[in-house]
A = this chain, B = another copy of it.
């Protein structure tokens, strides 16, 4: 089933079930008003939501209405945890190579993750507000999951069982604020403003065979100012799958229902062609494009986003249909 949260002026919005083709929606009133409620009591609530979903997809509901992604908040407008990985090692390799640094051997066995702010997510069509273009505004197209309860010490396989929903994320980054924060060693703060999520979060079964081994084996599309810049494969090259990322968090603490875990920027290896490296699948964040330019030309030539720039992030199923709806945002001054 597919779930979304509609704006209603409240902090947590109204939970709706969305049809598979994203054409229509139905309030989940009477089952659960907020997505967190459903996650808190998933075993009891989700079968009821599934029934409503089945009825909606069969055209058997009497109060369905047209689904409008622009009316969406993030599926979880605020969450108790947002833990973002950097699971596509190619991204890390490019970033390091551009500054002539090695990737530590441990990075291939010990996932890189950061704890993000989760009190104020933004909706898929909300503006990306930044006080200054000089911050180096960038998008980061990612896959993310929402978990149920996962106990401290859970194995990656047990953690995989704790995944309830899958969605897309735009982990907006302010690149020029990052070096100073990384140097301090305590992780990101000012360099990571509010994250946006796709209109719809879906149960893994909606992905069919594309959900395999804790990875989504589909193409993540990123269009910057209407130009397709990324057609990245989110599956094969995800070094750590979602179960491994969740188990990493759960090593010393419980992970509670409603935790969101991100994949990090989806990134694919380059291929050699006529003695020169190429990245035919493009990029899921501008920083990576700039790293490639630095490696090839000695300096970056692509600039970060400006006010008025747009970013659209979407993933289509093997049937060509949009699965999660599109993140479609514009960068704006406060």
A residues engaging B (CB < 8 A)? Answer: 11, 40, 78-81, 83, 86, 106-107, 110, 112-120, 129-131, 135, 152-153, 174, 177, 180, 182, 184-194, 248-249, 251-259, 334
- Contacting pair A249 B189 (CB below 8 A): yes
- Contacting pair B253 A194 (CB below 8 A): yes
- Contacting pair B186 A118 (CB below 8 A): no
Residue of B with least CB distance to A195: B253
| Of the residues B86, B117, B185, contact of A253 by C-beta under 8 Å | B117
Inter-chain CA distance A180–B290, complex, in Å, is 28
- Contacting pair A186 B114 (CB below 8 A): yes
How many whole Å from A9's CB to the nearest CB in chain B?
13
Chain B residues positioned under 8 Å from A40 (CB to CB): 11
- Contacting pair A118 B80 (CB below 8 A): yes
Inter-chain CA distance A177–B257, complex, in Å, is 25
How many whole Å from A171's CB to the nearest CB in chain B?
13
Chain B residues positioned under 8 Å from A130 (CB to CB): 252
Known interface pairs A117-B81, A255-B120, A334-B152; A187-B190 also in contact (CB < 8 Å): no
How many whole Å from A250's CB to the nearest CB in chain B?
9
Inter-chain CA distance A115–B259, complex, in Å, is 15
Chain B residues positioned under 8 Å from A188 (CB to CB): 115, 186-187
Known: A79-B80, A80-B119, A177-B252. 16 other contacts (CB 8 A): A11-B257, A80-B120, A81-B118, A81-B119, A110-B184, A113-B186, A113-B189, A114-B186, A119-B259, A120-B253, A174-B252, A189-B249, A190-B248, A190-B252, A192-B252, A193-B252
How many whole Å from A274's CB to the nearest CB in chain B?
36
Chain B residues positioned under 8 Å from A112 (CB to CB): 184, 186
Chain B residues positioned under 8 Å from A117 (CB to CB): 81, 83, 115, 249, 253
Chain B residues positioned under 8 Å from A189 (CB to CB): 83, 113-115, 248-249
Interface of A, secondary structure class, is loop
Chain B residues positioned under 8 Å from A193 (CB to CB): 252-253
Known interface pairs A80-B79, A153-B334, A248-B189; A116-B115 also in contact (CB < 8 Å): yes
Known interface pairs A116-B115, A131-B153; A78-B187 also in contact (CB < 8 Å): no
Inter-chain CA distance A80–B76, complex, in Å, is 11
Chain B residues positioned under 8 Å from A119 (CB to CB): 80-81, 254-256, 258-259
| Of the residues B190, B249, B259, contact of A251 by C-beta under 8 Å | B190
Question: Lowest 9 CB-CB distances: which A-B pairs, in order?
Answer: A187-B187, A80-B119, A119-B256, A81-B119, A114-B186, A115-B115, A193-B252, A193-B253, A182-B185
Chain B residues positioned under 8 Å from A192 (CB to CB): 252-253
Inter-chain CA distance A180–B257, complex, in Å, is 28
Inter-chain CA distance A249–B192, complex, in Å, is 10
- Contacting pair B334 A131 (CB below 8 A): no
| Of the residues B106, B186, B194, B255, contact of A187 by C-beta under 8 Å | B186
Inter-chain CA distance A253–B193, complex, in Å, is 5
